[in-house]
Amino acid sequence: MKAIVKLSPKIELHIEEATLKETLYSAITLTQYPKQCVCGNRDGFYWTTNKDQDNNIYINVKCPKCGARAKLGTLKGDRGHFWRNFEKYVPKDKVDTIT
Ligand SMILES: [Zn+2]
């Protein structure tokens, strides 16, 4: 059995895992990202991706109002995925310090 997941007008995934449950797990997990950003926004989220210097791939949903991102996390042993809550990226040199 194949699941078709439409992530955006331009991205449509056809997911077919070894079992029905695995197919549903992947399809449902991908679409169940947090529906409210830390800024309160609930609309217009869009997909982004990036790679770090170690070639790790990050899949995110980004808030158009404040730029916060919800990251798709990977379970230990690559057993599956889960969504982290929205977080704003703060570069290390911009972190407020108590002086
Ligand atoms: Zn936001």
Structure tokens at 96: 């407020």
Q: In this predicted model, what pLDDT tens digit does every residue of 13-56 receive, in sequence order?
A: 999 999 999 999 999 999 999 999 999 999 999 999 999 999 99
3-state helix, strand, coil in the chain (%, to 5): 20, 30, 50
Structure-model confidence comparison of residues 99 and 20, the more confident one: 20
Residue of 60, 56, 76 lying closest to 68 (CA atoms): 60
Is 28 in a helix, a strand, or coil?
helix
pTM of the model: 0.81
- CA 85 to centroid of ligand 1, rounded, Å: 11
Q: How far apart are CA 31 and CA 75, in angstroms?
A: 17
Q: How far is the CA of 32 from the centre of ligand 1 (A)?
A: 17
Give residue limits of the domains in the chain. 1-32, 37-99
Q: Determine the distance separating the centroid of ligand 1 and the alpha carbon of 60, expressed in angstroms.
A: 13
- Give one word for 79, left, alpha or beta, with left for phi > 0 and alpha for psi -120 to 50: alpha
Q: In the chain, pLDDT over 90 holds for what percent of residues?
A: 82
Cα of 61 from ligand 1 centre, angstroms: 11
> How close is the Cα of 20 to the center of ligand 1, in Å?
35
Check residue 97 and give its pLDDT.
62
